[in-house]
Structure 1
Amino acid sequence: MAEAHQAVAFQFTVTPEGIDVQLSHQALTEIYRSGVRSWKKRIIRLKNSVITGVYPASPSSWLFVVIAILATMYTRSDPSMGLIAKIQEHMPVSKCSLSPISHLCAVVSAVLFSTMLWLLLIFTMRLCLKQLLSYHRWMFEQHGKMSNTTKVWALVRIFSGRKPLLYSYQGSLPNLPVPTIKDTLKRYLESVRPLMDDAQYEHLTNLAAEFENSLGKRLQWYLKLKALWASNYVSDWWEEYIYLRGRNPIMVNSNYYGMDFLYVTPTPIQAARAGNSIHAFFLYRRKLHKEEIKPVSTVIPLCAAQCERIFNTTRTPGEETDTVQHWQDSDYIVVYHRGRYFRLRVYQAGRLLSPREIEFQIQRILDDPSPPLKGEAKLGALTAGDRIPWAKARKAYFSSGVNKRSLDYIERAAFFVTLDDDEQGMMGDDPAASLDCYAKSLLHGKCYDRWFDKSFSVVYYKNGKNGINAEHSWADAPVLAHLWEYTLAIDSFQLGYNAEGHCKGDVDSSLPRPQKLSWEIPPECEEQISQSLAVAQALADDVDFHVFSFRDFGKGKIKKCRVSPDAFIQMVLQMAYYRDQTTFCLTYEASMTRLFREGRTETVRSCTNESSAFIRALEDVCRRLLRAALEKHQQLYRLAMTGSGIDRHLFCLYVVSKYLRVDSPFLKEVLSEPWRLSTSQTPVQQAELFDLVNYPEYISCGGGFGPVADDGYGVSYCIVGDDLINFHISCKHSCPNTDAHKFGAQVRQALLDLMQLLNPKQKEPNKTEESRPEIKKDL
């Protein structure tokens, strides 16, 4: 194969005179440059490890302490209280009578004492910082009221250091605490009360009491032991048992997506859009390696551990469990176009290709007329189907030879790119329907034109629109959303395009062409590809999606009512679901636990006694009940963020029970309850690279995910600015009781009804989605 020969660094032949070695100068040069780049990164990581290791102090502070101690030697004062003299006595040449040597010993002793003092100060500062980051009572205080303890805490926070690197706070973040069994069970029983009649609730209460007084104590002991040993008692089990051990397709069921700007397309040229944004992705990766990305914070910093696996990461299938593989570096991406896979190197002679050069290479792929090889076109369907057949096929057909080499290229790539021949975005005579198609395309595409195992895949459409599809096991959506925001902002506001819509700059036309990957797919593997595609296609066809923007009001008006925007929307979803199904259901809202080291998510159970009481009494004394329900939701959200949630604790107790091979009727019943309403808020403006007030048209529509239950809804919402809320609603066509568009209409009406209830003096808005002022649409 020609591609195989290109990878050979040297050739040799045996001659009568001996071995004739023919070295490839270009290959050896690339090896040298790759090694230099690798060593540079090692040096940067070493330097950053030193800086983060002494944070909140700085390495230069050591010199300050040394100079200060040495200065005291000339004032004949001894701040060490005799310790410097003690150190000097134990030095090998301390008894030497020569004055220069004696003086040198005194200086060395002072430096050693200064170093020990400096390390002690660092240890004390880090301990204080950890205590500061462990304080969460500020979250539970009423708006406008602050306790004296919080005032002191807010004042002391100024000593937490300046200009932190991405991982500066990691060593000071507290570990996730294990809640008490009593508190967890109490909150759990309270959360399911509105979903059960008296007999069901009494039965569950008895099971909970039996569990608390018997097996629960034993399981809790194991969890406390793990919490002492591990930095997070939940996250490793959560990743393995919730994500990696799932044997169903990850497409739709696990992967999620993010959309492009809603009203703006920076360029209609597909290759140019890819050139700018691919370059921006690698700029972000460079900042990530140098740890120059500012830590994301609420009031206090969040854990950044999930950032480590953004790039060069893939999920590898296994028959029992999958694994997440991460490589330190990769200088290329893999591009899919019309059934062909190409390896595109983005570094040349040790430098990152310019956006114009990447555009040039992408255009080469678009213009390549070669057909796909036998079995290649729909190969990606293996990653979209069930995991066990994919694991068996990988072992049988991709463990050696040309197939292994090509698969390694895909899995080790920085990320995956699809050049799609379709046009997507809000366009045409029916923009609402076009957004629904756009969402479905990003969620599953054609079921074979994405590589769903990669940490993320970027899709570039023919009309210049783009989007992203992400695998979920390695990290949660806010981490990828930060990368996506950065890329969109750099693409539009820093790199930009010329008057013709192409990337700016010059291009080196002598760049080597992208390497087309080779495959030898046997008929048995083609049969498995077809079976996986059939499973994936049935799943994709069953997904009903509805995406819409609500512009009558946003968080600005909600905040004027002195309520939380998130709690308000959660109450809207409760009302919409009740009107749609005439009942309440177990509701999942994702809340992050990144206030703790290696934290991921916790569940906020949004259906509460207070919310159900309000909705039932909507025509009665409902304003008071609404505020009580909103406050209850906020209380649950704070508990989830501060390590006192319900579900992760119960999940870990269940895992321990399985390790011990003991059955718990209570835990079995708890974990079998379906989440018929699964919700999540998409964060915006994490990167803060441009101002939405001055650029209101540059808003992203956010992202979404598939339904968790076959008879339920998946709802993602994005609160953008003060006057816009985007919703992504999913369900399944196969369920006769769910309809994404019908539920979307219920959400719209519930938003208006709740606002009218909170602010009855203001007339209900008359403007609709169709009559809103025109905003700049796609180019």
Structure 2
Amino acid sequence: MPILEREPAKGRRESYDLPKVPVPPLKQTLDMYLTSIKHLVKEEQYRKTKSIVEKFGEPGGTGELLQKKLLEKRDNTHNWVYGYWLDDMYLNQRLALPVNSNPAMVFPKQDFRDHKDSLRFAAHLITGVLEYKERIDTRELPVDFSRGQLAGTPLCMKQYYRLFNTYRLPGLKRDTLIIHETGSTEQEHIIVACKNQFFVLDLVVKEKKLKEMDILTQLEKIVKMAENSEERQPPFGLLTSDGRTEWAQARDVLIKDSVNRESLAVIQKCLCVVCLDGPSGMEVGDTSRALLMLHGGGHEKMGANRWYDKPMQFVVGEDGVCGTVCEHSPFEGIVLVACTEYLMKFMTGSPSKMGRATSVSELPTPRRLLWKTTPHIQGLLKASAERLQRLVRDLDMDVHKFEVYGKEFIKKQKMSPDAYIQVALQLAFYRCNGRLVSTYESASIRRFHEGRVDNIRSATPEALAFVKAMTDEKTSLSDSEKMKRLWDAINAQTNSTIAAITGMGIDNHLLGLREISQEIHMEVPEIFTDQTYVASNQFILSTSQVPTTVEMFCCYGPVVPNGYGCCYNPQADHLLFSVTSFHGSTETSSAVFIKALDQGLVEMRDLCRKRNKPQSNTAAASKAVEKSQGAGSKPLSTPQKTGK
């Protein structure tokens, strides 16, 4: 379904004014690829890969043919990589959305005095959402500009326009991202989840928009309706927590009945979902709040009080656990941050306006969504609940606040905080495992039309040299040599970042070459079936910087069974890390990784204090790298996956 955009406000620079994503030179990408993997694989394997890559890049060979086709695609489309990337990163993925794909933003813990307080908060939050949506629809949001070394470049705004008007529809082999027309009258309602029931809250009644008191009144009605056990419906939200193929199969069964078909259509067109949660029964700390956002605690707690296909899903818990869990395919974390920071400032800085556009007596009763069930459907719900519970039990999360120092100390060393933290993550992984692995760090390419992200491969040869110097007790390198290696690692990370954000990264380019070979019905080139390429796209360390200016943090799960998900939020005097792994892997432990990370951060501080003189080649690292690179997009590599 195409999106119909309004004309931009006068004087505003929209995404179609931005340049197209470039196609990097073939030789440059192939050389960078070999450099990125040489130190991560065995020598014999590298020699084989090098031969395959050189053959692919021969003059007049397969690589040049595919490069020519890719250049033609660039000339004939607005963004040559967007469709490939969206399918590969999200829509083709078959894993369940909770933990594996959907990130969460955890709001500050709220101190609600009673149940009515939480509903007031929810009503005020919905009011803020409607105000922000109005700013999006009327194009009143200020255009974002890049920061850091390449500051001042306008960034594509299209992701903002897809915060509330999109829906991820499950498919048997590939999902579909449905995009409703901006400002559509079909989207004049939200879905409220309460006690695993779903209700329609119309935002416009008799052509009048509801004010905050009206919204609160409707929420109170919904809570009372949800308590009516005689009308209680089965917990159909559980189906959205399942694998995408399983959910698509279940949906095909559901839509055979017109009642179910209508309920699904109403949810699909909603503005957002608001989940009114009861008390979790858990000790409320950073880690437990993050878990409740990511998966709701499973079907025994709030896991069924969700609809995971909807990109914007706000959670308001009676015990003050609040946040948002997002279907990630329409937008990146930095756009989510901008939206949620606006809402947090609205919540704290704007007094609650309890006026009303209509009298309470004129407000219709919210509609409960109804479902027709059968023994077969009951079996599907039970199976979904069991699979969600296994995922809940398997997730190993540790939200950790490193308080020894923050980004201000790093800046005083004339280093990029992001590059510094990435090197620290490599040091922590090496200390735990004695090796480095393919690492993903999201890099925004929003300086281009419809730009999403590319990958910064942070496990550089220079990072390996540094972590070896810090951990090898057999070699006694001087502090001066260690400091030189730290600067080399930071320079390499900075250069990789600049390449990625300017469209010169290797992952999108290789993905495009692979996909264009399929479009022209070519046998998959050996470079993409090679063991090295497959392994290099299993991102055991998946990382993203998601900085905030208000008190909240982002989290997400690992992208491979034996991997870590690490989202970090650098603040002036502390660094906040959300680290995830799976209990089912004998290779990982979030607590052990955090301990190694702490140790490495302290050691790096001590080294900087001893040898605080930057090397002559550090000009590129002397400024902070663009902070919008922490786009919050995570790769969805799986053991069967060969793409980025």
State the AA in 2 paired with 1:513.
T
SS state at 1:495 partner = coil
Q: Which runs of 5+ in 2 are unaligned?
A: 147-151, 471-475, 613-644
Counterpart residue number, 1:639: 499
Q: Distance in 2 between matches of 1:437 and 1:244?
A: 29
Q: Do the aligned partners of 1:313 and 1:326 also contact (CA within 8 Å) in 2?
A: yes
Counterpart residue number, 1:556: 408
* Rg larger in structure: 1
CA deviation string 1:370-396 (max 9, x = no partner)? 12757x332112111122232222223
1:523-562 superposed matches below 5 A: 523-562=375-414
Q: Distance in 2 between matches of 1:411 and 1:232?
A: 27
TM-score w.r.t. length of structure 2: 0.86
Counterpart residue number, 1:181: 26
Q: Distance in 1 between matches of 2:433 and 2:213?
A: 53
Counterpart residue number, 1:340: 197
Q: Do the aligned partners of 2:295 and 2:392 also contact (CA within 8 Å) in 1?
A: yes
Counterpart residue number, 1:617: 469
Counterpart residue number, 1:204: 49
Q: Do the aligned partners of 1:338 and 1:377 also contact (CA within 8 Å) in 2?
A: no
Counterpart residue number, 1:310: 163
Counterpart residue number, 1:259: 106
CA deviation string 1:65-91 (max 9, x = no partner)? xxxxxxxxxxxxxxxxxxxxxxxxxxx
Counterpart residue number, 2:570: 719
Counterpart residue number, 2:209: 352
Q: Distance in 1 between matches of 2:395 and 2:215?
A: 35
The answer to whether 1:732 aligns with 2:596 is no
Q: Do the aligned partners of 1:588 and 1:603 also contact (CA within 8 Å) in 2?
A: yes
Identify which of 141, 158, 175 aligns with 1:322: 175
The answer to whether 1:750 aligns with 2:611 is no
The answer to whether 1:470 aligns with 2:326 is yes
SS state at 2:229 partner = coil
SS state at 2:234 partner = coil
SS state at 2:513 partner = helix
Counterpart residue number, 2:38: 193
State the AA in 2 paired with 1:631.
N
Counterpart residue number, 1:459: 315
Counterpart residue number, 1:58: none
Counterpart residue number, 1:78: none
1:427-438 superposed matches below 5 A: 434-438=285-289
Equivalent pairs: percent with the same residue? 29
Identify which of 65, 85, 97 aligns with 1:218: 65
Q: Do the aligned partners of 1:613 and 1:625 also contact (CA within 8 Å) in 2?
A: yes
Counterpart residue number, 1:627: 487
Counterpart residue number, 1:665: 526
Q: Distance in 2 between matches of 1:676 and 1:468?
A: 26
SS state at 1:617 partner = helix
Identify which of 694, 697, 705 aligns with 2:556: 705
CA deviation string 1:98-157 (max 9, x = no partner)? xxxxxxxxxxxxxxxxxxxxxxxxxxxxxxxxxxxxxxxxxxxxxxxxxxxxxxxxxxxx
TM-score w.r.t. length of structure 1: 0.71
1:552-631 superposed matches below 5 A: 552-618=404-470, 620=477, 621-631=481-491
Q: CA deviation at 1:320?
A: 2.2
State the AA in 2 paired with 1:229.
N
Identify which of 86, 104, 111 aligns with 1:239: 86
Q: Do the aligned partners of 1:266 and 1:492 also contact (CA within 8 Å) in 2?
A: no
Q: Do the aligned partners of 1:265 and 1:465 also contact (CA within 8 Å) in 2?
A: no
Q: Distance in 1 between matches of 2:320 and 2:47?
A: 58
Counterpart residue number, 1:60: none
Q: Do the aligned partners of 1:276 and 1:495 also contact (CA within 8 Å) in 2?
A: no
Q: Distance in 2 between matches of 1:217 and 1:413?
A: 46
CA RMSD of aligned residues (A): 2.1
Q: Distance in 1 between matches of 2:529 and 2:600?
A: 35
CA 1:580–1:657: 2 relative to 1, 3 Å: same
Counterpart residue number, 2:631: none
Q: CA deviation at 1:315?
A: 0.8
Counterpart residue number, 1:161: none
1:82-231 superposed matches below 5 A: 164=12, 168-213=13-58, 214-231=61-78
Counterpart residue number, 1:370: 228
Identify which of 671, 676, 683 aligns with 2:547: 683
Q: Distance in 2 between matches of 1:327 and 1:169?
A: 19
Q: Do the aligned partners of 2:118 and 2:318 also contact (CA within 8 Å) in 1?
A: yes
Counterpart residue number, 1:395: 252
Q: Distance in 1 between matches of 2:239 and 2:370?
A: 17
Q: CA deviation at 1:505?
A: 4.6
The answer to whether 1:509 aligns with 2:360 is yes
CA 1:359–1:423: 2 relative to 1, 3 Å: farther
Q: CA deviation at 1:552?
A: 2.0
CA 1:267–1:757: 2 relative to 1, 3 Å: farther
State the AA in 1 paired with 2:397.
F
Identify which of 126, 134, 140 aligns with 1:292: 140
SS state at 2:419 partner = helix
Q: Do the aligned partners of 1:280 and 1:490 also contact (CA within 8 Å) in 2?
A: yes
Q: Distance in 1 between matches of 2:367 and 2:140?
A: 33
Q: Distance in 2 between matches of 1:605 and 1:551?
A: 27
SS state at 2:128 partner = helix
Q: Do the aligned partners of 1:651 and 1:671 also contact (CA within 8 Å) in 2?
A: no
CA 1:355–1:746: 2 relative to 1, 3 Å: farther
Q: CA deviation at 1:265?
A: 4.8
Q: CA deviation at 1:422?
A: 2.3
SS state at 2:350 partner = helix
Counterpart residue number, 1:270: 118
SS state at 1:247 partner = coil
CA 1:274–1:649: 2 relative to 1, 3 Å: same
State the AA in 2 paired with 1:756.
D
SS state at 1:174 partner = coil
Counterpart residue number, 2:633: none
Q: CA deviation at 1:399?
A: 4.5
SS state at 1:236 partner = helix
Q: Do the aligned partners of 1:424 and 1:438 also contact (CA within 8 Å) in 2?
A: no
Counterpart residue number, 2:262: 405
Counterpart residue number, 2:128: 280
The answer to whether 1:650 aligns with 2:510 is yes
Q: Do the aligned partners of 1:339 and 1:372 also contact (CA within 8 Å) in 2?
A: no
Higher relative contact order (CA 8 A, sep 6+): 2
Q: Do the aligned partners of 2:436 and 2:464 also contact (CA within 8 Å) in 1?
A: yes
State the AA in 2 paired with 1:440.
L
